Structure 1
Amino acid sequence: MAAYEAILTECFSSIDTEIIDYVNGLLEDGHDEIDTPDDLFEAIGIMLLQTDESKTEDDIKDICGRLYGIMNGSRDSNSPDQSHKRMLTAPVQMSLLGKEGEPLTQTKSIWIAKKENASQVDPKKLEKAEAKILKNKDRKGNVPKAKTNGAHDEASASQQFNRKDVKFDASGANRSYDIKIDNFDIAFGEKVLITGASIQLLAGRRYGFVGRNGLGKTTLLRMISKKSLKIPSHISVLHVEQEVHGDDTVALQSVLECDLKREALLQEEKDISNKLSANNAKCDGELSSRLTEIYHELEAMDAAKAPSRAGVILAGLGFTPKMQAAPTKEFSGGWRMRLALARALFSKPDLLLLDEPTNMLDMKAIIWLENYLQSWPTTILVVSHDRQFLNAIATDILSLHNQKIDTYRGNYEVFHKTREERLLAQQREFEAQQQYRDHIQVFIDKFRYNAKRASQVQSKLKILEKLPKLVPVEKESKVQFKFPECEKLSPPILMLDEVNFYYTKEKIIFKNICINANMDSRICIVGENGAGKTTLLKILLGNLDPVSGIRHVHRNLSIGYFSQHHVDQLAMGLSSLELMAERFPGMNSEVYRGKLGMYGVSGDLALRPVSSLSGGQKSRVAFALLGMKNPNFFILDEPTNHLDMETIEALGNALAKFQGGVVLVSHDERLIRMVCTELWVVRNGGVETLEGGIDEYKHIVEKELELNC
């Protein structure tokens, strides 16, 4: 401390002692905030310049350098047991100090004694210097760490049971296939997702389940499938969530194996036949009798038609005859998920739980699935954000909002209209009641102390007490996407000229394709899975080189590419803010927050580990990272997967306003109609433009399905 004071008094002949004390305290206590002489200059430079105006900025920097050198030397040399010692400016009488742990006996301590002369330093200078330190800490990019909580890893559910229903179910007499789950709560760690909710699923009806990302729709499906929420024990439940494990089992057999009863009967029939064959002429009457029973059971369950029924399902989901005979280990994750869906459709459980089934399908498979589910005999609960799909298959809609679940009759369009009318009526009723309450309250306030009107006032008070408590409509915050402004480029921007491409000469993917896209292009690419849509995107991106032909690209073109696997490639242990700082270092945390906020990732959501976010929230983070690159051309591969309807709407609006070009692969009809003005169909080794757009393509697909049937 004496060394610092010596330098300051040497360099400043009339420096105030309060400034010396402040600088001494800062240098001794502020090591963590001061890493360089420049940091020290930012903290105290202005104060020292104002102390002696004859000195230049370079002079003050030299003084700060000398002070920093002493501070840095003392920091390196101090041992743990010596670092707490300080030189005192007054003697201490040890006899007046209490024993360890006891208070001091003297009333005035040198540790808190103040000088009698008032400070001559402007307090604003000190405040300004301290603000500089805080600003310097923020400038270094201190990004808050992800909020970790072990409870995030698993959801929990609680439910209120009716004792009578439990006894009835345990007796085995319950034969109803209606499902009623009363008064249940679901939480994910410390976050309550659903509270005090009740749902009733009537047998044979198809329920669409909608709501914003992250509210708990998928979690509810998992709670039902794991029996964490109690449903009648005789009802079979199947949740299509995990992809099929790859092994040597062929795809068709993998589907057939779902019918456990049929498989068991066929195995038993095979075993009995082998035994009878081994006995030759000796006939076992008991075995023969059992074999006859097996044949009758197989005939009753139409077992002979099972392979053809499984083949129809696989074909509808896009499996060619060759693929149906291929081992499951040869399929990618997306195709194994399709296989899992095929197994579920074949087994026909009493309650089928589907979570975004259209994410893995092309438009042809989606149309087939819509038609197939319309005649589904048992109960379905499906989470989906595809409006057209829900319009086609749903008989009822469950809406998750504000931790509650409301049920609406009809498909999505009917639900949307009914909900708007219901919310409008609720708001009007609330406002009317408020006016009535205000009118009564005016009377009460006016005559509260009037003895003649006492009985009337009491009557009015009772009226207020009896009025039901209504609440105003809570409007959900509007989701907004905002892509950054970009540089306009003159055409040609991106062009393929007579391009040929193949991985092997035996299978040509593209032959002599000629396509181009400009800054005002809004192009949607459609086609069956395996036709080459993703390959075409990779050629446009330059990730694959044409076998022949030319790819023209503008020298200033900056492409933002969103792939189906973007979400899977995020570091799940980091928060969204930490991801931003890792990918784009050197910026203030507020800059990262601002960028994330443009895509609906704000508040505590930005601090949560990515692993704890819903699929849609992860997609928003991926879009925020994409926007940081300021692209002037977007190539998007299935961008709507896992996004809720409000976010899809926001994405569509943002793409429509985007000043650059857009090429996207999507099966979401709503997004295509909002954004795209041009449709490219990939098929038969070529790329063709359909003048009639999405309507013409759907008409072509429906005709093909009719012919296949």
Structure 2
Amino acid sequence: MITLKNVTLRRGAKVLLDSASVTLNPGEKVGLVGRNGAGKSTLFGLLNGTLHEDAGDYSLPAQWRMAQVAQDMPETAQSATDFVIEGDTALLAAQAEVHAAEASDDGMRMAHAYMELHDAGAHDAEARAQALILGLGFKSSELTNPVNSFSGGWRMRLQLARALMCPSDLLLLDEPTNHLDLDALVWLEAWLKRYAGTLIVISHDREFLDAITQVTLHIDNARLVRYGGNYSAFEDMRAEQMALQQSAMAKQADKIAHLQAFINRFKAKASKAKQAQSRVKALERMEKIAPVLADAEFTFEFQEPQNLPNPMLSLSDISIGYPPPEESPAGTPPSVIVRHINRSVHAGQRIGILGANGQGKSTLVKTIARDLAPLAGELSEGRGLNIGYFAQQELDVLRPHDTPLEHMIRLAKEVIAAGKSGYVAGREQDLRNFLGTFNFSGEMVKQPVGTMSGGEKARLVLCMIVWQRPNLLLLDEPTNHLDLATREALGVALNEFEGTVMLVSHDRALLRAVCDEFWLVSRGGIEPFDGDLDDYQRYLLDEAKRSRDSDAAGVRQAR
């Protein structure tokens, strides 16, 4: 078992754990939670041996094998399959022993070495590695592609596959879902449920934690508090504890009343559609944990839109995709991903966009956001449409050497120059005050963005969107770098938003809480999806089985 007894951990002058104690038993699946900066990654450093306790006692069984996802971006021309196979450290050691035994010409040693190689699973290593790679969303045609040919997010998926390939008694996962789509996330959940060792996972995805963990370890005020149960159970128990603290509750009364008011309003509005019923359940959960939400250090709200055109958008026989690269020969056709889209987006709609990886969800959002031109058809915008767009790569668009204040000043100038209606604050102090509502206060407004965490950058992007006072929100994976408290704040803000929301996300809790209807992007088309997210999860599993069966049939034919 893993034991911490009165452990103190410091990073510089800051005490992250102060006389913390906890015991984790073999085979437990543990969710490690706490506010950003509370010390979650630092605790991982203690567990993996890169940091040592400043005081107290820490013990881990000496014979335990450990696996975790490397955080560096791999730079290698190895094939994806070979790269993942190398994650199996037991296999690599057995192969090294075979080479050494053969060089020694010692028959007995060679016999033992070959036996160890067989026990290490050399006969099916390639099949095991490729099952992991395909499960995480790669295509069969990409199995032999060089690692360097993939983008950063896909290389991090290969790092995850490599960690899962490693035989382990303790698996440490720090935000494993950040680079995954919903289909890969569903697959990972199923894999982790079968994992026999001890798992400790840091994640800001509530439903992922609920699906795979039975213990929650909360870093709270530099202490470790163990709760029996998944994240939702932890939240319920913590809400009960906080409800007993009347003095704290009195301070939060206004925030809870505000939260309760919008819960009541939106529950009354919800239709009888299956998707809307999921939303009602999400709101009922928020009702139960109102004290926890009210205790969150960060909340925000969207400004009321100045107008609501209806319809906001009309897509008439549109095809979307990408033009040929500039270096392509003349006459090269564009890459069409989705054809013949005929849909309208109306004021007040809350649409979740679903679809397996590569089907065109982000391409659709980019087209609506005007980052891509339609390849055919007509996209009509309502008069006065004002889009707030959070792109998957939005954090890369921020200028690393500029400060939050410089970003806001530049945005204000662009908005005024474009003659857009919206929230226009003329004075620098107004912009400082607005940044303060997003927890950018004091000297933080002058801190270069490149030195900030992913969560802080995401908050800055949200701040810039809110300031523009949009009436249509296009959100493509907005939660990747947000902690649980900020995700909850985003969910509350989106539910109070009077405009239209179109949301792509692998965060099912956010989709359930926000969306009343779903569009499914699949097989080159877009159709309404009549089920809820549980139905969609079953659809994804069926699609994965269909894909596997198709691949297997192709292999048989090739033979």
| Bin of the TM-score, shorter chain as denominator length | 0.7 to 0.9
Cross-structure match for 1:561: 389
Read off the aligned partner of 1:620 and give its amino acid letter. R
TM-score by length of 2: 0.78
Which residue among 341, 366, 370 is the counterpart of 1:542? 370
Aligned in 2, Cα 1:251/1:241: closer, same or farther, shift over 3 Å? Answer: same
Q: Distance in 2 between matches of 1:611 and 1:196?
A: 34
Cross-structure match for 1:67: none
1:329 positional shift = 0.8
Q: Secondary structure at the match of 1:667?
A: coil
Q: Distance in 1 between matches of 2:491 and 2:538?
A: 24
Q: Secondary structure at the match of 1:238?
A: strand
Which residue among 260, 272, 286 is the counterpart of 2:89? 260
Q: Secondary structure at the match of 2:36?
A: coil
Question: CA contact under 8 A between 2:169 and 2:198: conserved in structure 1?
Answer: yes
Question: CA contact under 8 A between 1:527 and 1:681: conserved in structure 2?
Answer: yes
Is structure 2 residue 433 aligned with structure 1 residue 594? yes
Is structure 2 residue 80 aligned with structure 1 residue 251? yes
Cross-structure match for 2:217: 398
Question: CA contact under 8 A between 1:596 and 1:606: conserved in structure 2?
Answer: yes
Q: Distance in 1 between matches of 2:337 and 2:293?
A: 52
Aligned in 2, Cα 1:256/1:415: closer, same or farther, shift over 3 Å? Answer: same
Q: Secondary structure at the match of 1:336?
A: helix
Structural mapping, 1:2-151, within 5 Å: none
Aligned in 2, Cα 1:406/1:522: closer, same or farther, shift over 3 Å? Answer: same
Which residue among 41, 52, 77 is the counterpart of 1:229? 52
Q: Secondary structure at the match of 1:344?
A: helix
TM-score by length of 1: 0.62
Aligned in 2, Cα 1:326/1:546: closer, same or farther, shift over 3 Å? Answer: same
Which residue among 12, 22, 32 is the counterpart of 1:209? 32
Cross-structure match for 2:6: 183
Read off the aligned partner of 2:341 and give its amino acid letter. I
1:576 positional shift = 3.2
Question: CA contact under 8 A between 1:244 and 1:339: conserved in structure 2?
Answer: no
Aligned in 2, Cα 1:652/1:429: closer, same or farther, shift over 3 Å? Answer: closer
1:664 positional shift = 1.3
Q: Secondary structure at the match of 1:358?
A: coil
Aligned in 2, Cα 1:683/1:521: closer, same or farther, shift over 3 Å? Answer: same
Question: CA contact under 8 A between 1:214 and 1:613: conserved in structure 2?
Answer: no
Cross-structure match for 1:414: 233
Task: Give the number of equivalent residue pairs.
Answer: 481
Aligned in 2, Cα 1:341/1:686: closer, same or farther, shift over 3 Å? Answer: same
Q: Deviations over 1:609-649 (max 9, x none)?
A: 54554432321122112222222211111011122222212
Question: CA contact under 8 A between 2:65 and 2:167: conserved in structure 1?
Answer: no
Q: Distance in 1 between matches of 2:248 and 2:387?
A: 51
Is structure 2 residue 349 aligned with structure 1 residue 526? no
1:419 positional shift = 2.0
Q: Deviations over 1:632-671 (max 9, x none)?
A: 2111110111222222122112112222221111111111
Computing the radius of gyration from Cα coordinates, the structure with the larger value is 1
Cross-structure match for 2:179: 360
Q: Deviations over 1:224-251 (max 9, x none)?
A: 4352136545544433252541321111
Aligned in 2, Cα 1:583/1:229: closer, same or farther, shift over 3 Å? Answer: farther
Which residue among 67, 71, 74 is the counterpart of 1:238? 67
Q: Secondary structure at the match of 2:164?
A: helix
Question: CA contact under 8 A between 2:183 and 2:357: conserved in structure 1?
Answer: no
Question: CA contact under 8 A between 1:181 and 1:229: conserved in structure 2?
Answer: no
Q: Secondary structure at the match of 1:681?
A: strand
1:302 positional shift = 2.6
Q: Secondary structure at the match of 2:295?
A: coil
Structural mapping, 1:294-313, within 5 Å: 294-313=113-132
Q: Distance in 2 between matches of 1:252 and 1:244?
A: 17
Q: Distance in 1 between matches of 2:378 and 2:458?
A: 33
Q: Distance in 2 between matches of 1:321 and 1:706?
A: 14
Read off the aligned partner of 1:549 and give its amino acid letter. G
Q: Deviations over 1:66-122 (max 9, x none)?
A: xxxxxxxxxxxxxxxxxxxxxxxxxxxxxxxxxxxxxxxxxxxxxxxxxxxxxxxxx
Cross-structure match for 1:649: 488
Question: CA contact under 8 A between 1:214 and 1:614: conserved in structure 2?
Answer: no
Q: Secondary structure at the match of 2:207?
A: helix
Which residue among 489, 494, 506 is the counterpart of 1:667? 506
Cross-structure match for 2:472: 633
Q: Distance in 1 between matches of 2:314 and 2:530?
A: 20
1:694 positional shift = 2.2
Q: Distance in 2 between matches of 1:528 and 1:683?
A: 7
Question: CA contact under 8 A between 2:80 and 2:147: conserved in structure 1?
Answer: yes
Q: Distance in 2 between matches of 1:485 and 1:429?
A: 31
Cross-structure match for 2:542: 703
Question: CA contact under 8 A between 2:296 and 2:485: conserved in structure 1?
Answer: no
Aligned in 2, Cα 1:616/1:506: closer, same or farther, shift over 3 Å? Answer: closer
Q: Distance in 1 between matches of 2:8 and 2:430?
A: 37
1:684 positional shift = 0.8
Q: Secondary structure at the match of 1:359?
A: coil
Q: Deviations over 1:270-294 (max 9, x none)?
A: 6877x8xxxxxxxx9x354443322
- Superposed CA RMSD: 3.1
Q: Secondary structure at the match of 1:640?
A: coil
Is structure 2 residue 208 aligned with structure 1 residue 389? yes
Q: Distance in 1 between matches of 2:224 and 2:182?
A: 30
Read off the aligned partner of 1:565 and give its amino acid letter. Q
Which residue among 379, 384, 390 is the counterpart of 2:198? 379
Cross-structure match for 2:17: 194
Q: Distance in 2 between matches of 1:189 and 1:578?
A: 30
- Work out which structure has the larger RCO, using CA pairs closer than 8 Å and 6 or more positions apart in sequence: 2
Aligned in 2, Cα 1:508/1:564: closer, same or farther, shift over 3 Å? Answer: closer
1:215 positional shift = 2.4
Aligned in 2, Cα 1:193/1:656: closer, same or farther, shift over 3 Å? Answer: same
Structural mapping, 1:246-645, within 5 Å: 246-266=75-95, 269=98, 286-425=105-244, 476-477=295-296, 479-503=298-322, 505=333, 508-573=336-401, 575-584=403-412, 587-602=426-441, 606=445, 610-611=449-450, 613-645=452-484
Read off the aligned partner of 2:528 and give its amino acid letter. T
Is structure 2 residue 525 aligned with structure 1 residue 678? no
Q: Distance in 2 between matches of 1:553 and 1:376?
A: 50
Unaligned runs of 5+ in 2: 54-58, 251-291, 325-332, 414-424, 550-559
Of residues 297-306 and 475-484 in structure 1, the stretch that sits farther from structure 2 once superposed is 475-484
Question: CA contact under 8 A between 2:30 and 2:201: conserved in structure 1?
Answer: yes
Question: CA contact under 8 A between 2:69 and 2:162: conserved in structure 1?
Answer: no
Q: Secondary structure at the match of 1:360?
A: coil
Larger relative strand fraction: 2
Moved over 6 A (4+): 270-273, 428-431
1:680 positional shift = 1.2
Q: Distance in 1 between matches of 2:154 and 2:314?
A: 31
Of residues 488-497 and 657-666 in structure 1, the stretch that sits farther from structure 2 once superposed is 488-497
Unaligned runs of 5+ in 1: 1-177, 276-283, 432-472
1:218 positional shift = 2.7
Question: CA contact under 8 A between 1:214 and 1:617: conserved in structure 2?
Answer: no
Of residues 490-499 and 663-672 in structure 1, the stretch that sits farther from structure 2 once superposed is 490-499
Question: CA contact under 8 A between 1:395 and 1:409: conserved in structure 2?
Answer: yes
Is structure 2 residue 47 aligned with structure 1 residue 218? no
1:703 positional shift = 3.1
Q: Distance in 2 between matches of 1:697 and 1:508?
A: 25
Aligned in 2, Cα 1:261/1:390: closer, same or farther, shift over 3 Å? Answer: closer
Of residues 246-255 and 553-562 in structure 1, the stretch that sits farther from structure 2 once superposed is 553-562
Question: CA contact under 8 A between 2:339 and 2:524: conserved in structure 1?
Answer: yes
